[in-house]
């Protein structure tokens, strides 16, 4: 009795070993067979290692007093000095607040707009009309931020801009949109909406096409009007996509748009317009404080990553799909 | 489709829906029409007309002015070179990587995918990236606008999802015929993936054409500036109020029409290719597959 179980156990062990071996040789065989595929992805991999992962390694200079001529290996270690300097700086809270507010505008004002436009486009029955609207509202996405900001500039300037001309015509005071602190945030978010809201519909429209038309039929039978159909059928159907995009958007706190904000920034609106990205640029590349500005960027990137992880965790807790 | 009774409520809904969408499309596009219209007007007309869309007093003065110097030709030349060269460069490596990673039997595929997706969530940031660009000897060369952005992870993922959805039988039969992986990719996979290739090429081309940030980060030499930097220079030159304005020379401020015309020149190439490629992504199916 005893021996049989023992041998059975041993046999099972042997078998497991055998399977492992076979699996390993199978893996090896597959690896060898795909030599050429590895060759194909090699340049891409090298690119990511050099231009994405090497800079991540470079983040360690935020714990050093980096001197270009000494390099990473020769520069002096200073621990968290740059971080404490950042948190103690009087500018920190101003920049932090500005970054958070722009982020909030992106999430609460911009984000719902493409969803609403998609729902509206989905209700259009004449496909030529739908396609025409789509074609037009996608266009600004393909314009550079320089063009978007320049077009806004020539329209908003006090110096013959069309918007102030209209205001004057209507008997209002001129507004110096470009230099006025109060107008920076509205201008920022309106430009984001102008450039991205149309293009943002693509992914939602794609998700909507997957909705079973019978659901609408059934809802109509039950007397649901168009709003109720939108609310109870279309919206729940694209819920997953909405959540995934929201999580990605939260990750975008990383890339709030250095280029966009930098183009709008000037010495008059700096109090509301300076964000981490622009601060890193000025402190790092214009003033040469490599280590300090890297610490600022590291802090921002870390917060961004933490927020994505948190948002994803939250989504999963609520039984949603998440991004990973 | 079954006969459907259209209720009054539904009609009202349609009316407002169509009206609002038309309004949205109009608001989106009017600023551009204003700029194009003004660029072809005389300065006097621009100054006197409140809301100029189509000029009555047609003039090419602004264009004559900007094309009278070498600067714009040089900037356009740089932009065209970077756009054409960069798009080919990026497409080559993106396609190779995407195809390789679309092969389900590839050992280590998950790890590599993760490494690439992770770069979307976290990166070294501006300064460490600058230092790598500097140490790889790209500063002040046009390569600095291309090599550091060789592969856009999003674009690569879209391509990969497209390749993943191709019928697997294609490769099998080609393999039996003795074709190697490279010839499968270039002779079979790419030709049947043209809509995806065209769309992603457009994305890259637009990104390269619109490049601004990398130019101001990596190129100190004004002769190498692409057209977006020049546009910025011409539009903010007059005000001297922005951070970067001081960096620009002290030429007299250009007229409004010149600014408008420069915006048009910096935009037109994108608008020219857009209608041809628009049909591919209007379907949306391609981008719908991003996730996964």
Best B13, B82, B112, B128 residue to mutate vs chain A (most A CBs within 10 Å): B128
Long-range residue pairs from A82-85, CB within 8 A, at least 24 positions apart, any chain: A82/A291, A82/A292, A82/A294, A82/A295, A83/A295, A83/A299, A85/A292, A85/A295
Cα atoms in the Cβ-side hemisphere of radius 13 Å centred on A304 = 26
Question: What is the dihedral sign for C-alpha A214, A216, A221, A222?
Answer: positive
Calculate how close chain A gets to B284, using CA atoms only, in Å: 5
Query: Which residues in B lie closer than 8 A to residue A220 (C-beta atoms)?
Result: 4
Supply the mean pLDDT for chain A.
88
- In order of their start, the domains of chain A are 24-79 (no CATH), 89-317 (1.10.3720.10)
Q: How far is CA B16 from CA A111, A120, A126, B19, B21, in A?
A: 22, 10, 15, 5, 8
Of A134, A150, A209, the CB nearest to B235: A150
Question: What is the dihedral sign for C-alpha A24, A30, A34, A37?
Answer: negative
Calculate how close chain B gets to A247, using CA atoms only, in Å: 11
Q: What is the ipTM of this complex?
A: 0.88
CATH superfamily of B70-288: MetI-like (1.10.3720.10)
pTM of the model: 0.88
Interchain proximity B10–A225, CB inside 8 Å: yes
Of A45, A137, A281, the CB nearest to B25: A137
Q: Measuring CA to CA, which residue among A259, A265, A96 is closest to residue A184?
A: A265
Which of B:225-264 have CB within 8 Å of A?
A: 228-229, 231-232, 235-236, 238-239, 241-244, 256, 259-260, 263
Q: Does A132 contact B at CB distance below 8 Å?
A: yes
Q: How confident is the model at residue A3 (pLDDT cuts 50, 70, 90)?
A: low
pLDDT in tens, chain B (292 residues): 444 567 788 889 899 999 999 999 999 999 999 999 989 988 878 777 766 788 888 888 889 988 988 889 999 999 999 999 999 999 999 999 999 999 888 889 999 999 999 998 888 999 999 999 999 999 999 999 999 999 999 899 989 988 988 887 777 777 777 788 898 899 889 998 888 898 899 899 999 999 999 999 999 998 999 999 999 988 876 554 444 544 444 445 567 888 899 999 999 888 888 877 776 665 544 554 444 3
Q: Does A205 contact B at CB distance below 8 Å?
A: yes
Predicted local distance difference test score (pLDDT) of residue B206: 92
Q: Does A300 contact B at CB distance below 8 Å?
A: yes
Q: Measuring CA to CA, which residue among A143, A70, A188 is closest to residue B268?
A: A143
Which is more confident, B251 or A113? A113
Predicted local distance difference test score (pLDDT) of residue B292: 35
Which of B:3-62 have CB within 8 Å of A?
A: 4, 7, 9-10, 13-14, 17-18, 20-22, 24-25, 28-29, 31-32, 34-35, 38, 46-47, 50-52
Q: Burial letters for B239-260: b for 16+ Cβ neighbours within 10 Å, e otherwise?
A: beebbbeeebeeeeebbbbbbb
Q: Does A128 contact B at CB distance below 8 Å?
A: no
Predicted local distance difference test score (pLDDT) of residue B288: 46
Q: Does A116 contact B at CB distance below 8 Å?
A: no
Predicted local distance difference test score (pLDDT) of residue B265: 93
Q: CA triplet B269, B272, B277: central angle to 5 degrees?
A: 115
- pLDDT, tens only, A164-177: 888 888 888 888 88
Q: Does B106 contact A at CB distance below 8 Å?
A: yes
Interchain proximity A202–B281, CB inside 8 Å: yes
- pLDDT, tens only, A266-311: 888 999 999 999 999 999 999 999 999 999 999 999 998 898 888 8
Segments making up each domain of chain B, as ranges: 9-59, 70-288
Bridge partners of B242?
A266
Interchain proximity A44–B93, CB inside 8 Å: yes
Q: How far is CA B10 from CA A158, A211, A305, B20, B268, in A?
A: 45, 20, 45, 15, 41
Q: Does B291 contact A at CB distance below 8 Å?
A: yes
Q: How far is CA A29 from CA A24, A33, A42, B97, B108, in A?
A: 8, 6, 19, 21, 13
Of A43, A125, A284, the CB nearest to B93: A43
């Amino acid at each position: 009795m005893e021996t049989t179980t023992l041998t059975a156990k041993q046999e099972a062990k042997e078998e497991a070993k055998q399977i492992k071996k076979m699996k390993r040789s199978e893996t090896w065989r597959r690896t060898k067979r795909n030599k050429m595929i590895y060759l194909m992805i090699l340049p891409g991999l090298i690119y990511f290692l050099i231009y994405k992962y090497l800079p991540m390694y470079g983040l360690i200079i935020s714990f050093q007093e980096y001197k270009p001529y000494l390099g990473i290996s020769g520069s002096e270690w200073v621990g968290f000095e740059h971080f404490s300097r950042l948190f103690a700086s009087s500018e920190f809270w101003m920049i932090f607040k500005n970054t958070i507010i722009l982020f909030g505008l992106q999430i609460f004002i911009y984000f719902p707009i493409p969803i609403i436009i998609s729902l509206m486009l989905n209700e259009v029955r004449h496909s030529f009309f739908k396609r025409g609207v789509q074609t037009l509202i996608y266009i600004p996405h393909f314009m550079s931020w320089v063009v978007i900001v320049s077009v806004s500039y020539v329209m908003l300037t006090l110096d013959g801009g069309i918007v102030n001309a209209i205001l004057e015509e209507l008997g209002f005071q001129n507004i110096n949109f470009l230099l006025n602190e109060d107008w920076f945030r509205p201008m920022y978010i309106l430009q984001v909406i102008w450039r991205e809201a149309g293009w943002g519909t693509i992914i939602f429209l794609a998700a909507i096409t997957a909705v079973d038309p019978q659901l609408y039929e059934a809802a109509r039978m039950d007397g649901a009007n168009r709003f109720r159909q939108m609310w109870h059928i279309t919206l729940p159907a694209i819920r997953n996509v909405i959540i995934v995009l929201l999580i990605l958007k939260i990750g975008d706190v990383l890339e709030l748009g250095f280029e966009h904000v930098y183009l709008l920034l000037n010495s008059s609106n700096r109090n509301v317009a300076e964000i981490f990205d622009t601060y890193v640029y000025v402190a790092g590349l214009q003033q040469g404080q490599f280590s300090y500005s890297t610490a600022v960027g590291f802090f921002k990137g870390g917060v961004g990553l933490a927020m994505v992880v948190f948002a994803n965790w939250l989504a999963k807790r609520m039984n949603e799909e998440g991004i990973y | 489709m079954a006969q459907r009774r259209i209720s009054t409520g539904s009609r009202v809904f349609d009316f407002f829906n169509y009206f609002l969408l038309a309004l949205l499309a109009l608001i989106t596009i009017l600023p551009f029409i204003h700029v194009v219209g003004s660029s072809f007007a005389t300065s006097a007309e621009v100054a006197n007309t409140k809301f100029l869309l189509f000029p009555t007093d047609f003039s090419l003065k602004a264009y004559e002015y900007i094309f009278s110097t070498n600067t714009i030709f040089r900037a356009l030349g740089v932009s065209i070179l970077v756009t054409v060269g960069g798009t080919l460069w990026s497409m080559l490596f993106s396609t190779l990587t995407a195809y390789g990673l679309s092969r389900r039997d590839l050992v280590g595929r998950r790890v590599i995918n993760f490494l690439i997706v992770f770069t979307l969530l976290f990166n070294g940031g501006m300064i460490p990236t600058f230092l790598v660009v500097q140490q790889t000897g790209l500063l002040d060369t046009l390569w600095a606008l291309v090599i550091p952005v060789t592969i856009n992870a999003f674009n690569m993922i879209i391509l990969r999802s497209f390749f993943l959805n191709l019928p697997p039988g294609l490769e099998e039969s080609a393999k039996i015929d003795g074709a190697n992986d490279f010839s499968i990719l270039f002779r079979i996979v790419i030709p049947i993936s043209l809509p995806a290739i065209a769309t992603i090429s457009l994305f890259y081309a637009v990104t390269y054409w619109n490049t601004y940030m990398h130019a101001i980060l990596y190129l100190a030499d004004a002769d190498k500036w692409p057209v977006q930097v020049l546009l910025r220079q011409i539009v903010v030159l007059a005000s001297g109020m922005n951070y970067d304005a001081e960096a620009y020379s002290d030429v007299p401020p250009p007229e409004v029409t010149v600014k408008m015309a420069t915006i048009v020149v910096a935009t037109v190439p994108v608008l020219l290719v857009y209608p041809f490629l628009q049909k591919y992504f209007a379907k949306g199916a391609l981008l719908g597959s991003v996730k996964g």
